[in-house]
Chains A and B, each alone.
Chain A
């Protein structure tokens, strides 16, 4: 874990890190990884990967439209919107 990785992670997660805290966070993350790394000592070569800790399988839906038109209510809870769209700062490709 180096400073560059921490910067990348902070960018990817859109979490701003205070420069003063950078060192502490780096060492915290390092400790977390060290702790979790103990799992690598367990012998798992014969075990199927576990995708979910509940040993159950999914209930599924039949293909039916159940949603109501909530356009007005949903647009209202957006941080910014007009009568038709949610609005965000311009994104250009």
Chain B
């Protein structure tokens, strides 16, 4: 029997505000436990939450970039449940009036572009962190993360495979990083997702019962967890049983999903409007200001790189694929007149190094200033492209200044034409057989001569000058 998969994603993106959604506690990652906790985050009696306007602005940016409706009056609700890392006994979220509704995003899938609709994106506070494995018989609670603003982005159930779910997640991550509303750092948990998976017979109109997979934080695991879950549901149904609506946890060590029974008893969240918070109003003026200041998005960047800078479309696509790449390109280009060469190096040698180490460019030791300088030194003929590669290797290793490396290693290109002529003559004199063969028509040997001169000069000659000089002597 043939089955069709129906997937919806709930992505939690941590908004990159300095302070929390309802308190002046810091949101900085990696602090000593329980040092970024405000009285409001603790849920102490008598405290009142006050909403952080910046979180709204960031959510609105997302809404505008996805062509969504912005609710200029939005309100907060309480979602009630007991868990140690939720001190108040409820999470403040937006159930009835979310700030963003009905948007969409273009996703590149294996079968071309697909529009995935976004049901809603709402603001809510994150919980603290429970540490289960540190103490005998007890769980430790760190409330640094409690109250951190999250944007929960809920897709329509329109995703039809694990690969497509990953592509959708990547598109959202690309968008939020370009909008500068979330750092997109999955290892630090700045983006996590819950996945709703169900299967149905191909010709059936009715959706099957869904299972919710919780808290997955890497592209690889999204794909694996969904594929495991699809297989599990098919085998459940084909053996004559039915899928139970439940929350399941993905275990990456065992590559399986398993039922989280503890969550099930308590899935009645009894939402009600939060009496501590009044509706937040966004004025037309605020909305227009955000609209006017939306940053350039990948698609626009790609077009501009092609039309204004003259990049190849393949180059423009790679460079605009991530915020870090685009920033590197634009910053480095300020240090040199040769933006096209900057692009070539970024897409060529530098991408190769990134792939080799499997890192993003902002994780490398290459700074935009230093990279721009490297390109400028090629472009002003201080060093040859070949030498530049070795300089890049060194910068890559230790992040040293390009000019310092060139000076310390004596890599400056030989500009002295008479010196180059001298070396060229020497090379030809010591290879009389090859010269004779060249003169009798073996044109290909020209490259050999160029190579020999470059070798003699340890790569410090400008290949173009070497070509011209050799041509002159040999003619």
Contact = CB atoms under 8 A, between A and B. Distances in A.
A75 B32 CA distance: 13
A66 interface: yes
Given A61-B50, A61-B53, A87-B139, A66 B268 contact: no
Given A11-B265, A52-B278, A91-B130, A85 B141 contact: yes
Nearest to B15: A63
A70 B33 CA distance: 11
B138 A87 contact: yes
A84 B140 contact: yes
B278 A62 contact: no
Interface string B76-91: 0000101110000000
A65 B24 contact: yes
A45 B124 CA distance: 29
Given A89-B139, A93-B260, A61 B51 contact: yes
A49 interface: yes
Contact of B140 (A58, A67, A85): A85
Contacts of B53: 60-63
Interface string A63-85: 11111011100110000101011
A70 B36 CA distance: 8
A66 B96 contact: no
Q: Is the interface of A mostly helix, strand, loop or mixed?
A: loop
A71 to B, nearest CB: 5
Contacts of B75: 51-52
Interface string B18-50: 110001111000001111111101100000001
A67 B26 contact: yes
A84 to B, nearest CB: 5
A8 interface: yes
B401 interface: no
9 contacts: A11-B265, A57-B279, A58-B51, A61-B19, A61-B24, A67-B24, A74-B37, A84-B32, A85-B141
Interface of A: 8, 11-12, 14, 49, 51-52, 54, 56-67, 69-71, 74-75, 80, 82, 84-93
